[in-house]
Amino acid sequence: MRAGSAALDPVQHVIVILAAAIGSVCAWLIPQWLGVGHPFWAPITVAAMMPALTSADAFRRASRLMTGTLVGVCFAALLFSPHPGVLTLMCLIAACQVIAELFVARNYALALVFISPLAIGMSNLGRGLPWGPLLIERVLETAAGIGVALVTIIIGRQVLAVAMARALPGRSG
């Protein structure tokens, strides 16, 4: 596969965009169907994985994304175990946001260690829900999103390969 989406023609760009859209919608529908409480975490995971559609590192991205989320959920469990009040929770969310921004461009897995408590904390801000189910939902939805993303990437790569094979004969001239 060529290096990244910059080398794609317009038809191939449409394929990548449609794959991302279909994958995101499927990832949103699965937690809805299962009755999981925060179905937006799964499509966000798909969106984070979609650059792997045109690169060779899909499984490496998936393992790093899951590892970062798992460590982040464990960190969130530690942060939220004393059941912080709203002001403390807001300070923890802000601190996680600042730290995540330091790592997000360089090491997404490390950034997820802080993005996960940020997302979990924000989803419970002012709600006072028990933390345990939120932690579990984050892991389950990330896993579901990764699964959907990998299937989407595998199918998307096949569709791209067919589109590229059809486009090659027409390019001579």
Predicted confidence at residue 170, as pLDDT, reads 55
In single-letter form, the type of residue at position 12 comes to Q
Cβ contact 28:20 at 8 Å: no
Predicted confidence at residue 7, as pLDDT, reads 62
Q: Report how far residue 120's alpha carbon sits from residue 99's, in angstroms, rounded to the nearest whole number.
A: 15
Predicted confidence at residue 173, as pLDDT, reads 44
Predicted confidence at residue 2, as pLDDT, reads 47
Whole-prediction pTM value? 0.85
Q: Report how far residue 95's alpha carbon sits from residue 101's, in angstroms, rounded to the nearest whole number.
A: 10
Identify the segments of the chain with pLDDT beneath 70: 1-8, 169-173
Predicted confidence at residue 3, as pLDDT, reads 54
Q: What is the dihedral of CA 38, 21, 157, 105, to 10 degrees?
A: -60
Q: Report how far residue 169's alpha carbon sits from residue 162's, in angstroms, rounded to the nearest whole number.
A: 12
Predicted confidence at residue 35, as pLDDT, reads 82
DSSP state of 105: T
DSSP state of 168: H
Predicted confidence at residue 12, as pLDDT, reads 83
| Angstrom distances, CA of residue 48 to CA of 3, 41, 61, 87, 108 | 18, 11, 9, 30, 10
Predicted confidence at residue 53, as pLDDT, reads 84
